Structure 1
Amino acid sequence: MGTWGTGIFDNDDAGDVREEFRDLIAAGKSADEATAGLVESYGAADVDLEDHNFWPALAATQHSPGHVGTGVIERAITIIDDPAELERWDPSDARRRRAALKKLRSRLQMKPRSPSGCEPAAAWTRRWRRASTSCSTPAPGCCCFVSWA
């Protein structure tokens, strides 16, 4: 796995989780079905240090369009509040990671929107690269609007 920054999606696994979740929702899966499939695929059934990228990324991805799986936000907040999360970072990066987690925690404490549609991540990525926009029909709550520091 590659990590290039302290943001919630600044590593390969988190980005992959976001894309795969969008694809599963666009294919008609429920948030709980998509979550179960991702948990199995990533081996993230338990919350341990190896899952500290998975759960916050999944919670951030689910919260914005309102497709929230059972227990996902709670697991993410458990990780955000765990001192071990910051201890795994270099001191110079821990401050920026703390800020990203604080921003995410604040967002996750807000009530999620009513579920809205998600287009497949591949279509979103093609459009973003071509037109520098995140969606051809942007609307508040669209999963294409997920943007975390």
Structure 2
Amino acid sequence: MSAWGVALFSDDTACDVRDTYRELIEDGVGDEEAVRHVLDGFGDALVDPDEGPVVWLALAWTQSKIGRLDAAVRDRALAVIEQGEGLERWQEEGGKALAGRQAALDKVRAQLTGPQPERKRLRRPWRHVTDLTPGAVLAYRVSSGRLVLLRVSQIDDDRVGCAPVLTLVRYLGDALPSQQELDRLPDAVDGSCPLGIPVDGVMNAMVFRVAVHRKKDPDYRALGFEPLAGVLQPRPGDERFDSLLCSYTHWEGLASIMEWYAGCH
């Protein structure tokens, strides 16, 4: 099971159902179509005796909280509660765990059977779009006065933002390189501190997806990352975005990481 607690949303599946449904409504998808998308998308979970009940409960709860409770979804969720579907794990644990889950289900029942809130319109969250483009090179001067360089290897454009993917270049210098020097600089070396110093595998990411999540968050210029006049041509692998090899951060976090790397030298 994906649960880590007795509450309805102390569960990965429940959270995924809630987030998926809300995102569909935020994107302007109609009520019936949104339900169909959720049920289709969680088809495998629906046939699982543990996760299936969670899907119905999470969907009904989420609908109810925004004034869009569908009668068929409500009835199916209430049947889950009345018939004790998905309670086997909690019954095996017994004691406080079972009592806590029952209390959580009582809360869901009260939400679904009580007065429903007015229908709410959900707006899509603010979405930042970077002005950086592939090939751009950013210079950052660390507190020692030396410069580190990162190149924009690609742009990752998804529902929540359009963010640059930066690859650290193997460079730590006192002055900005010329275009000719820039062209010869390799990317950071795998298995070492990206500036070339061997480390024990701690904090040695080389590729960063750098996002701005809120309007008040500083962008790259405010943190001292300056675009160079020169550019770097695409390199093998730039067209592939591997989220498992990428460190997700923000500009303040990236500045701190650059300080740490430079301090290794």
Instruction: Give the TM-score range, shorter chain.
Output: 0.7 to 0.9
Name the stretch that deviates more: 65-74 or 55-64.
65-74
| TM-score, scaled relative to structure 2 | 0.43
**2:131 counterpart of 1:91:** no
Relative to its length, the structure with more helix (as a share) is: 1
Q: Who is 2:54 aligned against?
A: 53
Structure 1 residue 22: deviation in Å? 0.7
**2:32 counterpart of 1:28:** no
Distance 2:115 2:124 in 1: 24
Relative to its length, the structure with more strand (as a share) is: 2
Distance 1:30 1:102 in 2: 29
Name the stretch that deviates more: 68-77 or 39-48.
39-48
Distance 1:31 1:45 in 2: 20
What does 1:72-87 align with in structure 2 at a 5 Å threshold? Answer: 72-87=73-88
1:3-53 deviation line (CA, Å, top 9, x unaligned):
110111111111011111111001111221111101001016669544111
Letter aligned with residue 116 of structure 1: K
Of 102, 106, 117, which aligns to 2:106?
102
Distance 2:82 2:106 in 1: 9
Q: Who is 1:139 aligned against?
A: none
Structure 1 residue 114: deviation in Å? 2.6
Which is greater in Rg?
A: 2
Letter aligned with residue 14 of structure 1: A
Name the stretch that deviates more: 43-52 or 89-98.
43-52
Q: Who is 1:62 aligned against?
A: 63
Q: Who is 2:39 aligned against?
A: 39
Q: 1:111 and 1:31, CA in 2 relative to 1: closer, same or farther beyond 3 A?
A: farther
Letter aligned with residue 19 of structure 2: E
Q: Do 1:23 and 1:119's aligned partners in 2 also have CA atoms closer than 8 Å? A: no
Q: Do 1:22 and 1:119's aligned partners in 2 also have CA atoms closer than 8 Å? A: no
- What's the secondary structure of 2:98's corresponding residue? helix
1:52-90 deviation line (CA, Å, top 9, x unaligned):
110111111000111223411111100011134333312
Structure 1 residue 95: deviation in Å? 0.8
Q: Who is 1:9 aligned against?
A: 9
Letter aligned with residue 5 of structure 2: G
| TM-score, scaled relative to structure 1 | 0.73
- What's the secondary structure of 2:6's corresponding residue? coil
Identity score, percent? 32
- What's the secondary structure of 1:53's corresponding residue? helix
Q: Do 2:7 and 2:101's aligned partners in 1 also have CA atoms closer than 8 Å? A: yes
Distance 2:16 2:46 in 1: 17
Distance 1:16 1:84 in 2: 20
Distance 2:55 2:69 in 1: 14
Unaligned runs of 5+ in 2: 128-159, 161-212, 218-265
Unaligned runs of 5+ in 1: 131-149
Distance 2:8 2:125 in 1: 18
Letter aligned with residue 60 of structure 2: A
Q: Who is 2:204 aligned against?
A: none
